[in-house]
A and B are shown apart, each in its own frame.
Chain A
Amino acid sequence: MSLAGHQSPPVFKQGPTPLVRLLVLVSVCLAMLVADLRFRYLEVVRQGLSVATWPLQMAAAAPVDFVRNAAVYFATLVEVQQDNAELRRSQLDAAQRLLRFEQLERDNAQLRELLQMAPAPGVRSVAAEVLYDAPDPFSRKVILDRGSQHGVAAGMAVVNAQGMIGQVTRAYPVQAEVTLLTDKDQAVPVQVARNGLRGVLFGAGQGRMELRFTLSGVDVLPGDRLETSGLDGIFLAGLPVAEVVSVDHESQTFAVVLCDPVAAVERTTQVLVLGRAEAPPPRPQPDSAPLRRTERKG
């Protein structure tokens, strides 16, 4: 409204002022950040829009693929021969282990039957290749060339020949995002292979990991191997994860246990995505609500 009481002519109308628009958009962004980081509400939006951006992403990844393939193409004959010899040797080694493994598995199934235990969970596996590091510099993630169409699901463990390297955190239709073990937010329930002591392993930055919440004075020694405990109902039990490097009991209540991953976590290309063949049994409710429901039914 101008001073004389006339409406300002439409030429000058440009909607809300820039500052108002800035504040509105900034609050929308902040709401999105909270919804995504804190509550994970926006995964559906992300999945939907990622289908739209996928062609552009593929086009952008093409030159990088080309350079990488060219490097492979120009690998020398000597390198290939060395690789080949190495692979033959490891195959022989694996073959004799496999023979024993089949027999042990049969034994195991028989013994479980005798003891009337539930059969061990089956394994579902997908072979995949690491396409590239995720561009987000704040986290340690890689992108795989297999997605939900090939049977990859969020939560599955990712291993290479030496041991575990990470976990699938987002499964897109034809790609999957893997959070590496060294990421700060990645947690793996593990146990010490030597004595079965359980703990949770977190990424600690600089390629290291830390076994947190271990009381000081417990029996963990440098050189101990850590493997997945399978107690989370997501990972398979017994995948090698890390080796203890140093233990510091002298701090406060908790010991500081630093570990190195067993596998070359950040330099792997060929991986296997492992999951349980069937869904884990449902978690028990913390209160007695389901009990009452069954009572009412009966």
Chain B
Amino acid sequence: MQPTHRSSRILQPAKNWFVFLSLFVALGLAYIPTGRLPGVPDWVPLVLAFWCIREPRRVGMGTAFVFGVLVDIGQGAAMGQHALAYVVLAYLATSIARRVLWFPPLQQALHILPMFFLTQLIMVLVRLVAGAEFPGWAYFLSSFTSAALWIPLHFLLLLPQYRPADRDDNRPI
């Protein structure tokens, strides 16, 4: 529960089950076989970065590691490839968490974009060192689509916390 620049609204605390449910939903989305379609957003780092910024005490590098390994297995990638990239992402996201929250969502997305790009760059470097072929520049498109999704996701994942503490029939939300 942290103040943001735009809204001084006091939020409900995030529920643990919701945090992990959203992470598993993102994992499920990452498992959708989209083939070689470029620009498919990386759902897991997106949700992971969100919770690392919102709840740095609960979601951090350990969670990033576990979900990275799960993505590695589901995608048939090298074991540790996504885990390595997500751990670095989680480190960066938790370290800028206090600062980023003072910005409105659009500028938060601009903060997140280079981190997504770095995540993908780490994966490319790991695989190139291991002798794979370069997947082409279109591979990096998904950083941009992920960052663009930050704004709707920001709203969606905070929805449960917007609820009032006690029910009031006269209040709209």
The CA-CA distance from A134 to B132 in the complex, in Å, is 15
Contact in complex: A33, B94 (CB < 8 Å): no
Interface string of A28-53 (1 = CB under 8 A from B): 11111101110000100110011001
Contact in complex: B32, A36 (CB < 8 Å): no
Contact in complex: B75, A37 (CB < 8 Å): no
- The answer to whether A135 and B28 touch (CB under 8 A), given A26-B88, A28-B65, is no
Contact in complex: A143, B73 (CB < 8 Å): no
Contact in complex: B33, A49 (CB < 8 Å): no
The CA-CA distance from A133 to B32 in the complex, in Å, is 11
Choose from B27, B29, B79, B91 the contact partner of A36 (Cβ within 8 Å). B79
Contact in complex: B139, A26 (CB < 8 Å): no
The CA-CA distance from A35 to B78 in the complex, in Å, is 10
Choose from A33, A49, A131, A136 the contact partner of B70 (Cβ within 8 Å). A49
The CA-CA distance from A31 to B79 in the complex, in Å, is 10
Total interface residues in chain A, CB < 8 Å = 43
B156 at the interface (CB under 8 A from A): no
With a cutoff of 8 Å between Cβ atoms, the chain A residues found around residue B31 in the complex are 53, 56-57, 59-61
Q: Determine chain A's interface SS by DSSP, over half rule.
A: helix
Which stretch of A17-25, A102-110, A121-129, A244-252 is in the interface?
A: A17-25
A5 at the interface (CB under 8 A from B): no
Which residues of B (25-43) have their CB < 8 Å from a CB of A? 27-36
A205 at the interface (CB under 8 A from B): yes
B131 at the interface (CB under 8 A from A): yes
Contact in complex: A42, B87 (CB < 8 Å): no
The CA-CA distance from A49 to B71 in the complex, in Å, is 11
Choose from A28, A56, A134 the contact partner of B75 (Cβ within 8 Å). A134
Contact in complex: B79, A63 (CB < 8 Å): no
The interface size bin for chain B is: 35 or more
- The answer to whether A26 and B81 touch (CB under 8 A), given A60-B29, A133-B36, A184-B131, is no
Choose from B28, B29, B79, B131 the contact partner of A33 (Cβ within 8 Å). B79
Interface string of B64-91 (1 = CB under 8 A from A): 1100111001111111110110011001
Interface string of A52-78 (1 = CB under 8 A from B): 010011011101100000000000000
With a cutoff of 8 Å between Cβ atoms, the chain A residues found around residue B101 in the complex are none
Contact in complex: A177, B76 (CB < 8 Å): yes
Contact in complex: A36, B84 (CB < 8 Å): no
Minimal Cβ-Cβ distance residue in A for B123? A138
A185 at the interface (CB under 8 A from B): yes
Choose from B32, B65, B70, B130 the contact partner of A25 (Cβ within 8 Å). B65
Minimal Cβ-Cβ distance residue in B for A37? B130
A213 at the interface (CB under 8 A from B): no
Contact in complex: A131, B61 (CB < 8 Å): no
Contact in complex: B79, A132 (CB < 8 Å): no
Contact in complex: B73, A141 (CB < 8 Å): no
With a cutoff of 8 Å between Cβ atoms, the chain B residues found around residue A138 in the complex are 77, 124, 127, 132-133, 135
User: Min CB distance, B48 to chain A, in Å?
Assistant: 14
With a cutoff of 8 Å between Cβ atoms, the chain A residues found around residue B65 in the complex are 25, 28-29
The CA-CA distance from A29 to B32 in the complex, in Å, is 25
- The answer to whether A137 and B139 touch (CB under 8 A), given A22-B87, A30-B80, is yes
Contact in complex: A26, B33 (CB < 8 Å): no
Contact in complex: B74, A141 (CB < 8 Å): no
The CA-CA distance from A137 to B75 in the complex, in Å, is 9
- The answer to whether A135 and B87 touch (CB under 8 A), given A18-B94, A36-B78, A36-B80, is no
With a cutoff of 8 Å between Cβ atoms, the chain B residues found around residue A21 in the complex are 60-62, 91
A139 at the interface (CB under 8 A from B): yes
Contact in complex: A64, B132 (CB < 8 Å): no
- 10 residue pairs of the A-B complex, CB under 8 angstroms, read A18-B91, A21-B61, A29-B83, A33-B79, A33-B80, A49-B73, A138-B124, A139-B132, A170-B76, A184-B132
Shortest beta-carbon contacts, A-B, top 10: A32-B80, A132-B33, A60-B31, A29-B84, A138-B132, A36-B79, A137-B135, A133-B35, A33-B80, A29-B80
